[in-house]
C-alpha cells in the first residue's frame, strides 16, 4: 500500500523493516526520525504543563499514573508495547521507527517535564497548549515522513481498519473515544486542549507532511 501525499510527488510507502533500511538517504531520514520522535515527547510535555487538556491517549496515560507508581513517560512506553502486542493478530509489521517511537517519545516527555515547570496565569498556559499542539503536528509529519513505519497507536488504527473494513476516520474516532473514557474513569486530565488537539492535529500533520516526506528511489 502506498499513501499519496497531496500537493507533492513524494509518497509514504508501506515498506518492511529491511526495505526501510535499504531505501537509502539514511543520513537525512534517521536524524529526521529522531528529531520528530523527540519533538513529539517535548510537545506532549508542553501540553501537560499547560494544564488545559491532553491528547486522547495521554488522557488515558495521565489517568493510569494516578494509580500506578510510574511517570507519564514510562506509561507512554509501557502502553506502546501493550499496543504492539495487539499488532500480532492484526498482522501489522513494525519498522525501525515503530520501535524507536515506543521508547523515545516517553523518554523525551519525561526529560522535558523534569525541566519545564507549570506556569502561572492563563497566557503562558495557552501558549504552551498551542505550541504543544502545533509542535505535535510537526513531530508527526517529521517521523512519518522519515519513512520508517507507523507509530504503535497509528498501526493499531490502520490494522483495525484493514481487518474490519471500516474507515480510518471511524476507527480512529472509536479508539480515541475509548481511551478518553477509560482515562476519565481513571481520573485523567481532560480539557479544552483535548478538543483543540482532536480538531487540529489531523489538518496540521496533513499540511506539514508534504514538506517532511523524504522521497525514496523509484525502484522501491
Q: Quick: pLDDT tens for 132-177.
A: 999 999 999 999 999 898 899 988 988 898 888 888 788 888 999 9
Measure the CA–CA gap between 47 and 129, rounded to whole angstroms.
5
Q: Quick: pLDDT tens for 20-66.
A: 878 888 889 999 999 999 999 999 999 999 999 999 999 999 999 99
Query: Is there a contact between 57 and 127 (Cβ–Cβ < 8 Å)?
Result: no
> How far is the first Cα of the chain from the last one, in angstroms, to the nearest whole number?
12
User: What's the whole-model pTM score?
Assistant: 0.89
Amino acid at each position: 500500500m502506498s499513501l499519496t501525499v497531496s500537493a507533492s510527488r513524494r509518497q509514504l510507502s508501506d515498506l518492511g523493516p529491511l526495505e526501510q533500511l535499504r531505501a537509502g538517504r539514511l543520513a537525512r531520514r534517521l536524524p529526521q526520525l529522531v528529531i520528530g520522535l523527540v519533538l513529539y515527547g517535548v510537545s506532549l510535555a508542553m501540553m501537560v504543563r499547560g494544564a488545559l487538556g491532553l491528547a486522547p491517549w495521554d488522557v488515558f496515560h495521565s489517568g493510569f499514573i494516578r494509580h500506578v507508581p510510574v511517570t507519564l513517560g514510562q506509561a507512554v512506553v509501557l502502553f506502546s508495547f501493550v499496543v504492539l502486542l495487539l499488532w500480532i493478530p492484526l498482522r501489522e509489521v513494525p519498522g525501525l521507527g515503530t520501535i524507536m517511537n515506543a521508547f523515545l517519545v516517553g523518554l523525551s516527555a519525561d526529560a522535558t517535564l523534569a525541566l519545564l515547570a507549570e506556569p502561572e496565569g492563563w497566557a503562558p498556559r495557552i501558549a504552551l497548549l498551542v505550541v504543544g499542539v502545533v509542535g505535535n503536528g510537526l513531530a508527526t509529519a517529521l517521523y512519518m515522513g522519515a519513512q520508517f513505519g507507523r507509530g504503535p497507536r497509528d498501526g493499531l488504527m490502520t490494522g483495525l481498519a484493514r481487518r474490519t473494513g471500516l474507515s480510518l476516520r471511524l476507527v480512529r474516532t472509536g479508539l480515541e473515544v475509548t481511551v478518553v473514557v477509560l482515562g476519565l474513569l481513571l481520573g485523567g486530565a481532560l480539557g479544552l486542549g483535548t478538543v483543540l488537539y482532536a480538531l487540529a492535529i489531523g489538518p496540521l500533520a496533513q499540511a506539514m507532511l508534504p514538506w517532511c516526506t523524504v522521497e525514496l528511489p523509484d525502484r522501491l
